[in-house]
Structure formats: structure tokens, C-alpha cells
Chain A
Amino acid sequence: MAFTSVKTLLDGYAKQDLNIEFWEYIMLEDMKDQQISRTESMKHVQELMSVMKQAVQNYDANQRSASGLSGGDGAKFAAAQEAGHTLTSGFIADAIRIALTMAECNACMKRIVAAPTAGSCGVLPAVLLAYESNFGAEPEAFIEALYVAAAYGQIIAYEASISGAQGGCQAEIGAASAMAAVALTYLHGGSLEEGANACAFALKNMLGLVCDPVAGLVEVPCVKRNVAGAVNAIAAAEMALAGIQSKIPVDEVIAAMDEIGKLMDSSLRETGKGGLAATLTAKKIEKALTH
């Protein structure tokens, strides 16, 4: 187990005397943990990035999920973007479209990267790929950002949870959003402290979010919550990069998320029994699917 808190991660990096960059410190610690070589580690992260890109490229507007509940929304949004009918443009609009696209790919049984989970797989690629097409950066920068994001994800998994069944949606989309906020802050040249603040902001805004999938499927509301996670990550990174500080330190925010998850009724933790899943329409959908 490499990183147990954001504080130990940042302190550990400050104490190292190898004169290496932050992402490299994370990579080296994980290489020790997994007993793998530098080449193996980097090759794996490069593959993650290329699978994310492929999934977006291979998106099929006509594809529908087995239940028929998901598909086609990424294309609808792309059409609106094309026609110039969107409220936002550029970076944010692209992030919305990619988040929809990836989450739909997942629902339609396409090849994706769980980041940190399959249900939240759209958030991180949405901000990374939208950043790439709007701001540009060296391919290496995205690999580095993924290491930094993964370290924060690992800490959230350790201090709290990244499972909807344990901690609700705040643990899945919330964790993904926090990781994406950290990655964005890193890509845009933010400091380590700004990265920690970005994580705190993103997570704070997602606290209490329940996991209430209709008919128990990773589709409604999961696909659209990927959009919420991506846009929230951008807002969190913006605030952190502007020098705004989180009044509650990031490790305490993560601990609060854990506490909230434990207080959450089991009907709101991926059982498909409470919240949106318990609505009249959801029950009708569920009935239609089982008959």
C-alpha cells in the first residue's frame, strides 16, 4: 500500500531527495508496490490512455444498451454542438459530449477503462480528451496526469471507498470527479497544494450523492452523472488554479465522505431500491425489463 493520505503523499514527496517530479515519485512508489518495471508501468498507463481514445473514436450513434435505456445521447449533444445551439462551447461542451459518449459506450458493452469504476468511466477521459483538443499538451503530460489522478484515487479508496455499494455515488462519480480535478490542475501547471484543493472542492460538491440506479442497471442516472462529475471537476480545478483554498483539508473531506457513506441507508447504495430507482417510472421500467 503506497499512499494512505494526501498529507503523507505530499510529505513523502517533499522529503525525497532524488530530485524527481511528483508524478515520477508516485510511479516509483507504485512500481515498488506492484513489483513491476518502469517500462511495464508506463506501457500500462499509455494503454489506458489509448483505450479511452479508441472508445470515443469508435462511438456508434445507433448503438443501444441491452435494456434500451442508453445510447445516442452523445450523438445528440454533438449535433447540438455542431449546430451552435449549446450554452457552452469549447472545453466544457467537449467535456460534456465525451462524458456522455464514454458512459454510453460502457452501458452498450464496449471496451472502456474503469476509472475508478466502470459506472464512472466517462469523467476522467472527458476532461483529459477535452483538454487535449482545446489546449493541447504533450502526450507525456497526460500520462503524468493519470499517475497523479490515480494516486488520489488510491487515497480515496483507502481512506473511504470507491464502491457505490459501500459509499453511494459520491464514492464513484465523486472519486472520479476528484481525480479528474487533480489531473486538470496538474495539466494546467497548478502546484501540488492547488491539486489537493481541487480534489477537496470536487469531492465536497459531490458529498451525499446516493447510488440509485434504475432497475439496478449502470445506466440511469449513471450516464448523465458522468457529465456532472466532469463539469464539477472543471469548476473545482478552476477554483484551485485561481488560488482559492479549501477551508476543510482534503483528508478530512475524504474522511467525511466515508462517514456519510456509512450513514447512508442500504436502499441508496447500489441496491436499486431507493431514490430514483424507487420512482413510479423506474418501477414501470423495471417491470417491463423483467417481463
Chain B
Amino acid sequence: MTKIACILYNKNISKGKGLQIIADLFLGESMNLFDILGPIMIGPSSSHTAGAARIGYVARKLLGEEPIYIDIGLHGSFAATGDGHGTPMAIVGGLLGMKPDDERLPQSFELAHSLGIEIIRHNIYLREAHPNTAVLFVKGKKRQLEIQAESLGGGTIRICKIDGINTNFNGDYPTLIVHNIDEPGHVAGVTALLAKRQINLATVQLYRDERGGYAVMVIESDQRIPEDVLYEIEEMPGIIKVTYLNMDA
């Protein structure tokens, strides 16, 4: 599957600023004071431990329920030095709902074991992937999910694939992920509903596998999205799956 379109817009900013934001997204240079002092985290590595915990946490939020089966594939430096840095432990901790500064992280495997969760960990090789990449396949009682994510340093991450479709977001904002049939009107329908509910959009990204096939929109918003809005989107014709991520909830 190839990424056909990636639209990043914000109605409040000029085109030039928009390009700067895109540049910052990929260069990772724009840091606020708390990116410099922080995060508060469990050691030893912001990329291999804190970032890994965050990847697990995002996966848990996207799955929306407690996992019963966790398959962890580690690539590159994650594969080479992940065990010494507690990368699998941090991912499992995140999947159990622990944040990167949760002091229970070092005991996550014991906790998962006591809950009867099956864990598989193996090394993988991906072409042209970031050196700190993890591919997680998780199953709950009702749902399952596969994500590919990168740990970019300093505890920041990027979710680059969900269920095989390319994405590009980090979970800093409330994020709505809508899988839909690729036909006219779905983006307009969803964004109109969000506008009606006074939810300001930070970014909108659109991805699809083939023309007229399967598409995904990733919408980052300034405000959290209420449950009834999510339900309403789910009920719209042509919508296949709605996932919502709010790291603060």
C-alpha cells in the first residue's frame, strides 16, 4: 500500500507556516521547554524505554480494551539493545495502561503474566524503517490491531502504520482515526460534524490504499471529542471503523 495523499492543514496558519510545521514534524527540531527538561520517565533510555512505553500506551488506547495477546516485533536498534533498555517491558507496561513515568513498568511482565496475557517477542527486519521501530499485533476480547511505530528520541514517537495503512501522528493531540470507503463526502461529513460541535482541528491527514477502495483519515483536534460524536461518526454510511485516542483520558 502506498501513501497517496497527506494533507496537513490548519485554517489559522499561512501556507509558509504550514510548511514550517511539516518541516518540524520531520526534522523534530521544534522543542518546547518541557521537551528539553523532561519527560519525567522510568529509565534508562528516553527512546528505548520512555518512547517504547508510549508506543504501548497508544496501542492500548487504540485497541480500546485490555489485551489478551501481545506480539512484539522489534527492528533495528530496538532489536539489538531493546532487552538491555527494557524496551519489551516498557511496551507491555504501556499496553497495560502504564504511562512512561509509571513506577510499575519494571514489573510489567509479572503483571501481564498474572493477568494471563500471552506475550510473544521477536526480532524483525523492515526495509527503510527508523532504527527504533516496533510492530505490535495485539488482540483483545473484541478487537485486534496492528501498529507500526517509531521512537524518535526524547520520548517522542510517531505512529506510521495502523492495520497496514500508512499514518503519521504522535498522540500529543486528541486523535480521531476513521476508516472509511474511499468515496466522496466522508471527510466533509466528519469535519462538518466536528465543526458543529465546536471542535477545532489541528491537522487532517488522508490516506488510502487504492482509488475507490479503503481510506483512513487521521484528525488531530485541539479539544477532546465527546463519545456521542464518535458514536454518530460510526453510524454514518460508508464508515468502517472509528478509533479515538486521547492520551490524557
Interface residues of A (CB under 8 A from B): 1-2, 26, 30, 33-34, 44-45, 47-48, 51, 65-67, 105-119, 121, 124, 146-147, 149-151, 153-154, 157-158, 162-163, 165, 179, 215-219, 271-272, 289
| Contact of A119 with B81 in the complex, beta carbons under 8 Å | no
Assess whether B46 is interfacial by the CB under 8 Å rule: yes
Nearest A residue to B43, CB-CB: A106
For B31, B43, B49, B80, the residue with the greatest tally of chain A CB atoms inside 10 Å of its CB is: B43
Beyond the given pairs A47-B40, A109-B44, A289-B84, 10 more chain A to chain B contacts, judged by CB atoms under 8 angstroms and listed by A's residue number, are: A1-B30, A34-B34, A66-B86, A109-B49, A111-B40, A118-B46, A146-B37, A150-B34, A150-B37, A154-B32
CA distance A216 to B44 in the complex (A): 12
Assess whether B106 is interfacial by the CB under 8 Å rule: yes
Residues of B contacting A157 in the complex (Cβ-Cβ under 8 angstroms): 29, 31, 35-36
CA distance A152 to B142 in the complex (A): 49
| Contact of B81 with A34 in the complex, beta carbons under 8 Å | no
| Contact of B40 with A108 in the complex, beta carbons under 8 Å | no
CA distance A219 to B45 in the complex (A): 10
| Contact of B32 with A33 in the complex, beta carbons under 8 Å | yes
| Contact of B32 with A2 in the complex, beta carbons under 8 Å | yes
Assess whether B112 is interfacial by the CB under 8 Å rule: no
- 17 inter-chain pairs at a CB distance below 8 angstroms, sorted by A residue, are A1-B24, A34-B32, A34-B33, A34-B34, A51-B40, A105-B43, A109-B105, A109-B106, A112-B41, A114-B38, A114-B40, A115-B36, A116-B154, A158-B29, A165-B131, A217-B84, A218-B45
Decide yes or no: A115 and B37 within 8 Å by CB, A67-B84, A165-B153, A217-B84 being known contacts. Answer: yes
Decide yes or no: A118 and B44 within 8 Å by CB, A109-B86, A289-B84 being known contacts. Answer: yes
Nearest B residue to A69, CB-CB: B84
| Contact of B49 with A111 in the complex, beta carbons under 8 Å | no
| Contact of A114 with B39 in the complex, beta carbons under 8 Å | yes
Residues of B contacting A146 in the complex (Cβ-Cβ under 8 angstroms): 37
A213 shortest CB reach to chain B, Å: 8
Fill in one digit per residue for B145-174: 1 if any A CB lies within 8 Å of its CB, else 0: 000000001110000000000000000000
Residues of A contacting B45 in the complex (Cβ-Cβ under 8 angstroms): 118-119, 218
Nearest A residue to B36, CB-CB: A153
| Contact of A117 with B81 in the complex, beta carbons under 8 Å | no
Assess whether B219 is interfacial by the CB under 8 Å rule: no
| Contact of B43 with A108 in the complex, beta carbons under 8 Å | yes
CA distance A165 to B86 in the complex (A): 19
Assess whether B101 is interfacial by the CB under 8 Å rule: yes
Residues of B contacting A151 in the complex (Cβ-Cβ under 8 angstroms): 33
For B49, B84, B131, the residue with the greatest tally of chain A CB atoms inside 10 Å of its CB is: B84
A20 shortest CB reach to chain B, Å: 16
CA distance A216 to B34 in the complex (A): 26
| Contact of B44 with A107 in the complex, beta carbons under 8 Å | yes
Interface residues of B (CB under 8 A from A): 24, 29-47, 49-50, 77, 80-81, 83-86, 101, 103, 105-106, 131, 153-155
Decide yes or no: A217 and B36 within 8 Å by CB, A116-B154, A118-B50, A157-B31 being known contacts. Answer: no
Nearest B residue to A121, CB-CB: B43
| Contact of A112 with B29 in the complex, beta carbons under 8 Å | no
Determine which of B34, B49, B154 lies in contact with A163 in the assembled complex, contact meaning CB atoms within 8 Å: B154
CA distance A117 to B151 in the complex (A): 14
| Contact of A30 with B43 in the complex, beta carbons under 8 Å | no
CA distance A147 to B34 in the complex (A): 10
CA distance A118 to B85 in the complex (A): 11
CA distance A66 to B155 in the complex (A): 21
Residues of A contacting B35 in the complex (Cβ-Cβ under 8 angstroms): 154, 157
Residues of B contacting A67 in the complex (Cβ-Cβ under 8 angstroms): 84
| Contact of A215 with B39 in the complex, beta carbons under 8 Å | no
Residues of A contacting B81 in the complex (Cβ-Cβ under 8 angstroms): 215-217, 272
Decide yes or no: A112 and B43 within 8 Å by CB, A33-B32, A34-B32, A66-B84 being known contacts. Answer: yes
CA distance A85 to B186 in the complex (A): 74
Residues of B contacting A116 in the complex (Cβ-Cβ under 8 angstroms): 36-37, 154
Decide yes or no: A117 and B46 within 8 Å by CB, A154-B36, A163-B153 being known contacts. Answer: yes
CA distance A51 to B176 in the complex (A): 33
Residues of B contacting A158 in the complex (Cβ-Cβ under 8 angstroms): 29-31
Decide yes or no: A218 and B44 within 8 Å by CB, A114-B38, A114-B50 being known contacts. Answer: yes
| Contact of A113 with B37 in the complex, beta carbons under 8 Å | yes
Residues of B contacting A215 in the complex (Cβ-Cβ under 8 angstroms): 81, 84
CA distance A216 to B33 in the complex (A): 28
A272 shortest CB reach to chain B, Å: 7
For A45, A109, A112, A271, the residue with the greatest tally of chain B CB atoms inside 10 Å of its CB is: A109
Decide yes or no: A147 and B154 within 8 Å by CB, A118-B45, A121-B43, A216-B81 being known contacts. Answer: no
B73 shortest CB reach to chain A, Å: 19
Nearest B residue to A149, CB-CB: B37
| Contact of B29 with A48 in the complex, beta carbons under 8 Å | no
CA distance A86 to B47 in the complex (A): 36
